[in-house]
Amino acid sequence: MSFDATWTQALGALTVLLGAGFMLLAAVGVARLPDVYCRSHALGKAGTMGFLCLTLGYGLIASEPSWLKLVVAIVFQLTSIPLASHLFCLIAYQRGAPRHEPKARSEQPPPPR
């Protein structure tokens, strides 16, 4: 294994970890956010970035990656995930899903001292 291959694999591992972090962030967003619109936004944005980082990291780590397959998968996901997220929100809106209304400033408790 050459010096360049070691750095490439290290960069790939770092990219995979970054992708896993984005996926974890998407999961936390789905679990913690108050309504379907916020959840869909978190899943669409962080999930897409997570998939992108995981796929690029795999391409860097694999000894013989098929870059054409990886590029096709990335392009497909970059077009389908945001579209699906938008459609989920559109259907929720048409069916009257409640929206989270933040409290007015006067209703919020004062900040702790």
11-70 confidence digits (pLDDT tens)? 999 999 999 999 999 999 999 999 999 999 999 999 999 999 999 999 999 878 788 899
- Cβ partners under 8 Å of residue 56, min gap 6: 12, 15, 19, 70, 74
- pLDDT at position 106, please? 63
Number of domains in the chain: 1
- pLDDT at position 108, please? 67
Domain that holds residue 87: 3-96
Could you tell me the pTM of the whole model? 0.78
